[in-house]
Amino acid sequence: MSPIRWRVALHATDRTGPPMLALALLSWLSRNRCEDSLSIVSFRGGELAGEFSRFGPLRIMLNDEEAWDHRRPDSPRAAQLMADFFGLEPADITLLVSVSAGQVLPYLPAGRDCVVAWVVEQGEDLHWLHGPLRVADHVDAWIAGSEGTREALLEVLGDQTVAVAAEFVDDWSPSPPGGTSEGARATFRAGLGIGADQMMVLGAGICTYRKAPDLFLETVVAVERSQPGRARFVWLGGERDPLFDKVSAEIERLGVSSMQILPGVAELRPWFDAADVFLHPARLDAFPLVCLHAAITGTPVVAFRGAGGVPEMLGDTFRGANYPDVAGLGAEVVGLIDPHQRARLGGEQQQVVRKRFVTDIAAPALVDAVMVAQHEHRLAS
Amino acid sequence: MRSILAVTAAPDDRPSTSTLRVIVEELQSRPDVRAEIWLLRAAPEDDVWGSPRVVDELRTWRPAALLESLRVPVLPDLLRGLRLKWWLYQLEPDLVILDDGLGGRLFDGRPFGRRRRPVMAVRTNPDHPRHQTWEPAPLNAADIVLQLPGTEPGPVSGQRMDAAHVREYPDAGRLGRDEARTSTRATLAVPGDAVLITGWGNDGWLDGPDLFVRGLWALEQRHGIAAHGLWLGLGSDPEEVRRLHVEAERCGLSGRFHQRSADTVAARCCGDAAFLPYRDAGDPFALTEAVVSGLGIATFITADVHDPMVIEVPPLDVEAAADALAELLGRDRSVEAERARRRLDVGGWVDSLLDLAATLR
C-alpha cells in the first residue's frame, strides 16, 4: 500500500457538521494510515482551526468575516488567492467534505489529483453543484453520506455513479472516566431549573429555518398544551443566526416558561448526558451528526420523517412524525415521558448507531470508497 | 322623518371622533333622517363638524348676558333654559347619542316638547376628552350603549351595540361578491374554482407566512380540504418567497401555494376564508374590511376585532387554525357578508341602530 497524500477540503473550520466529520476522518487517518500525509484547506476559518492544524498544514483562504461573492469575485483578491495557493502541498486525493467545500476549487492549483466529493447535504445546499462555481464540473468521483443524499444527488446530477459511505462520529460511550454520575446529572439539570420529575428535552443547532428552532418552540407549545409542566426544553446554539433573537422574543411574548434558548457550547456531551430526549425538528437535514451523538449517548432521538436522513439513520428504531406534523412530533415526545420507554428506545437507537455509524466502522469504508474512486480515476486518465 | 341628535363634548383628535363623524355623516346622508350634532363647548381650532350648535354659547347669548349685566336675578338662566328647550323643540329628537355619556343634564330625564322622551344612547370611550368638567350620564339610564374597545361599562340595563370598528367600507361588499372574486382571481392568475385561503403581510417572521403554509397542510390532512393558498405581500423579499415555495413543496402543496406582491382589498377578499397567523397584531381595518366582504378569518391575534367572523385560535396552533378554517368554509358567505355589513359597515350599522331605536320607542 503506497502512501497517499490527502488534501481535505472544507467550507469552514467552524463547529458545523462537515468540519466535525472531517475531524473524525483526519483523526482516524492519522491513527490508522501513518504513512499517508495530510493537509487541510478551508475556504473560511472558524473556532476549530487549532484542532485541524494538529493533523497537518492548514490553509485558510479568506480572512475572518471577509465578504465574498462567487458571482462577481474581486479580481485582484482572487488573483492573490490563486498566487497564495500556487505552492500548496501537492496531493493525490482532494476530498471535498461537503459540496460547499467546493468553494476552494477555483483557487487551487491545477494538478493530477483526484477530486472526490463526499456529499453530506441535501436540498438547497446542493446549489453549489451548478451555481456560479459549477462544482460538479470539477469533481472526478462522487460519494454520498447516506442513501437519501445519494438519491438527492442523483436528482441533481443525473446519470452519474455515486457510491455511498456513511457519515460517522466517534463513539462516546461508555461515559468517560469520572463521567456523569447521577448526582452530577441532577446538579447539571438543577442549574437549568429542571426538576427530578421533569423530562428534559434537548435541541441543538444553528438558528436557521432549516434547523427549525421555531418548530422546536411549536412542539414545546404543543406538549405544554397536553402535559403542562411535565417537560422542560432547552435549545442550544445559533446565537449569531437570524432566528435566535426572534425565537427568544417569541418565547417571551407567549410566556413559555418551559423553554430556554441558550448560546452554543463547545462540549455537548454533558448536555446529552443530562437530557432525557433529543428533539430534532429540522425541516431538512441530510444526516445530522448531532442525532448520531445523541443516540450514541443513549439519549433517544425524536425527529421528522420526510425531512432528511434521521429515519435512514435509525431504521426501525426511528421515532417521529411526518413533516410538518408538529402536533404529532409533540405526541411522540409526550410518549417518552415514561422513563422505561425512554430507556428502551435510547438503548435500541444506541445499538443501531454503534453498529454502523461510528468512526472505527464507517471511516475505513469511506477510505476504501475514496481509494476505489482514485483507482478508477487513474485508469480513466 | 326621524330626528337624531348627537351630543359630544368638543371635537378633538381622538380616533373615536372620526368614528362618530362617520356615523353622523351617514345619518345626515339619509333622506328620511334629520341629524344634528351639538357640541357642549366650541373648539374653533377644530373644523370637524362644520357649523354645529354649541351649547356653551348659551352662556354668552346676548339677551341673557344683557340681563345679567343689569343684575336681574333668575331671569337670565330662565331665558337660557327656554332657548335650549326651543332648540330641542325644533329638532324633537327620536334618538339622542351622548358621546362619552356627556350632556345628559341637557335633557334632565324629563319629557319635553310635544313628544315622548327620546331613546337615549351613550357611546362609551376609553379616551378622555379634552374637557372633563362635565359629568357623564349614568350608563344604567341609557337605553342603548354603543361600546368602544377598552371600555367596560359595568352594569348596563340597555342594549349594547359594538361600535369599535364602525366605518365606511366602500369596496368590501362589492368585492366580496362571487363575480368580483372570480374576476380578481383571474387577474391574479390563481384558480377560480378551487377553495382558496388568503393571507397577507410583508414581514416574513411576524406575519407568519410559514405558519400559513402549514395551515394549508393541516387543512388537507385533518379535514380533507385540498385548498390553494394565496399569500399577499413580501414582494420586496424574493429570498423569503423562494423559501416559502420550498416549504410548500416540502409540505406536499406543490402548485397550490401562490404569492403575489399586490396586497389590495380585492386580492384579500377573493379567497373563501383567510388565515392570518400573526405573531404581532395586524391592521384592524384590513381585517374588518375583509370581514365585511364576507371573508371568515382564522387568526392567532385578533387586533381587537371581536366579531363572529373572526376566530381566534391559540398561538402557533396550526391544527386549531385548520379546524377554524374548515368551520368558516362551511358557512354561507353571502349571508355572513350581509350580517357583517350590519355589524361593521356604517350603513348597515346605522340601519341596525335605527331599527333598535324604533323598537325601543
What local confidence, expressed as pLDDT, does residue B111 receive?
46
What local confidence, expressed as pLDDT, does residue B347 receive?
86
Which tens digits make up the pLDDT trace of B76-97? 999 998 898 888 888 889 999 9
What local confidence, expressed as pLDDT, does residue B302 receive?
81
What local confidence, expressed as pLDDT, does residue B285 receive?
87
Task: Say whether A142 sits in a helix, a strand or coil.
Answer: strand
Where does chain B hold its CATH 3.40.50.2000 domain(s)?
172-341
What local confidence, expressed as pLDDT, does residue B22 receive?
86
Q: Which three cell numbers stand for residue B57?
A: 354659547
Q: Do B251 and A324 touch (CB under 8 A)?
A: yes
pTM, rounded to two decimals: 0.84
Sort out which chain B residues have CB atoms less than 8 A from A326's CB and list them: 214, 318
Please answer whether residues A214 and A247 qualify as being in contact, where contact means their C-beta atoms are separated by less than 8 angstroms: yes
Sort out which chain A residues have CB atoms less than 8 A from B318's CB and list them: 326
Alpha-carbon distance values, A228 to A198, A342, B189, B280 (Å): 11, 19, 46, 25
**Confidence band of A173 (pLDDT split at 50, 70, 90):** low
Closest Cβ–Cβ partner in B246, B250, B319 for A327: B319
What local confidence, expressed as pLDDT, does residue B190 receive?
96
Q: Do B246 and A326 touch (CB under 8 A)?
A: no
Sort out which chain A residues have CB atoms less than 8 A from B250's CB and list them: 283-284, 306-307, 323-324
Please answer whether residues B123 and B100 qualify as being in contact, where contact means their C-beta atoms are separated by less than 8 angstroms: yes
Compute the average pLDDT of residues B147-175: 77
**Confidence band of B13 (pLDDT split at 50, 70, 90):** low
Q: Which of B316, B319, B323 to mutate to test the interface with A (most CBs of A within 10 A)?
A: B316
Sort out which chain A residues have CB atoms less than 8 A from B316's CB and list them: 217-218, 221, 254
Nearest C-alpha of chain B: how many angstroms from A250? 8
Residue B254, chain A, CB below 8 Å: the answer is: no
What local confidence, expressed as pLDDT, does residue B142 receive?
84
What local confidence, expressed as pLDDT, does residue B191 receive?
95
d(CA A221, CA B190): 34
Residue A146's CB: how many other CB atoms inside 10 A?
A: 22
pLDDT > 70: what percent of chain A?
98
Which CATH class name applies to B172-341? alpha beta
A225/B147: higher pLDDT: A225
Q: Do B217 and A218 touch (CB under 8 A)?
A: no
Q: Which three cell numbers stand for residue A69?
A: 461573492
Residue A123, chain B, CB below 8 Å: the answer is: yes
A14-18, A178-182, A365-369: least confident range: A178-182
Sort out which chain A residues have CB atoms less than 8 A from B246's CB and list them: 123-124
Which CATH class name applies to B2-166+346-360? alpha beta
Residue B129 has pLDDT above 80, yes or no: no
Compute the average pLDDT of residues B316-337: 96
According to CATH, the topology of domain A182-356 is: Rossmann fold (3.40.50)
B243/A87: higher pLDDT: B243
What local confidence, expressed as pLDDT, does residue B231 receive?
98
Compute the average pLDDT of residues B308-331: 97
Q: Do B315 and A254 touch (CB under 8 A)?
A: yes
Residue A67 has pLDDT above 70, yes or no: yes
Residue B222, chain A, CB below 8 Å: the answer is: no
What local confidence, expressed as pLDDT, does residue A194 receive?
95
Q: How does the average pLDDT of chain B come out, rounded? A: 87
Sort out which chain A residues have CB atoms less than 8 A from B317's CB and list them: 221-222, 225
Where does chain A hold its CATH 3.40.50.2000 domain(s)?
5-169+358-380, 182-356
Architecture of domain A5-169+358-380: 3-Layer(aba) Sandwich (3.40)
What local confidence, expressed as pLDDT, does residue A221 receive?
98
Give the nearest chain A residue to B219 (CA atoms).
A325
The type of residue at A331 is A
Compute the average pLDDT of residues A182-192: 90
Residue B89, chain A, CB below 8 Å: the answer is: no
Please answer whether residues A46 and A12 qualify as being in contact, where contact means their C-beta atoms are separated by less than 8 angstroms: yes
Which tens digits make up the pLDDT trace of B255-292? 999 999 989 999 999 999 999 999 998 888 899 999 99
Closest Cβ–Cβ partner in B243, B247, B279 for A250: B279
A185/A322: higher pLDDT: A322
Which tens digits make up the pLDDT trace of B17-45? 778 888 888 899 999 999 999 988 876 66
Give the nearest chain A residue to B214 (CA atoms).
A324
Count CA within 13 A, CB hemisphere, residue B219. 28
A366 Cβ contact partners less than 8 Å away, ≥ 6 residues apart:
A25, A118, A143, A165, A166, A168
Residue B279, chain A, CB below 8 Å: the answer is: yes
